[in-house]
Chain A
């Protein structure tokens, strides 16, 4: 059973506009959430994370929002650039656990 879900397999956005990638989770024990970016034929690279004690974390063009009551998080990329085109994975973990649970990924295409 998928505990972390990314319901949009793909997203296309014009360069300069905002990209919003969404992620839902079912396990209320999750208290740390991460976003990874993956280019073809490469391993995922860590992008940004957020603890459950926060509802927002910002790093440059990337902002992650967490809504614990809705068990939902989102990644905002502003402004979007062609180099952001990649597959984005949402991941979650629980304190004391030794595993990251990943979503199925969203392929972002930024159109020049």
Chain B
């Protein structure tokens, strides 16, 4: 079974802090994604990566950056956390989108 693991289930950070969210997948998938989920807005794509060191902006990249130094790991970085970044963050990976994307368990981030 594909496993996508996010480093934390719950995080509380202060405004202005730099925040790292880590995601690791064990199926050698090329594609990895970071989404955020907010009530009434569904899942919105922040960034995705289709190969090591390759990244593309999604729908809401402002305030975020990403890093993919190894195929299995995709990190989301909040350069200076703000309260409007309080959300559920979901990492996903896929070999091919027609085969579906596999999601991690999510990280509930609260910025105070």
Contacts and interface: CB of A to CB of B under 8 A. Distances in A.
Interface of A: 6, 9, 32, 34, 36, 41-46, 49, 51, 89, 93, 97-105
A32 B94 CA distance: 14
A99 B90 contact: no
Contacts of A105: 42-43
Q: Give chain A's interface secondary structure class.
A: loop
Contacts of A34: 100
A93 B97 contact: yes
B104 A43 contact: yes
Given A98-B48, A102-B43, A104-B41, A43 B105 contact: yes
B50 interface: yes
B98 A51 contact: yes
Contacts of A41: 9, 105-106, 108
A66 to B, nearest CB: 14
Nearest to B44: A102
Contacts of B44: 102
B109 to A, nearest CB: 13
B103 interface: yes
A104 B103 contact: no
Given A34-B100, A42-B105, A43-B105, 13 more contacts: A41-B105, A41-B106, A43-B92, A43-B104, A44-B43, A44-B103, A98-B48, A98-B50, A99-B58, A100-B33, A102-B43, A102-B44, A105-B43
B78 interface: no
28 contacts: A9-B40, A32-B98, A36-B103, A41-B105, A41-B108, A42-B105, A43-B90, A43-B104, A43-B105, A43-B106, A44-B90, A45-B103, A46-B100, A46-B101, A49-B98, A49-B100, A51-B98, A89-B42, A98-B31, A98-B48, A98-B56, A99-B33, A99-B48, A100-B33, A100-B45, A101-B45, A102-B44, A104-B40
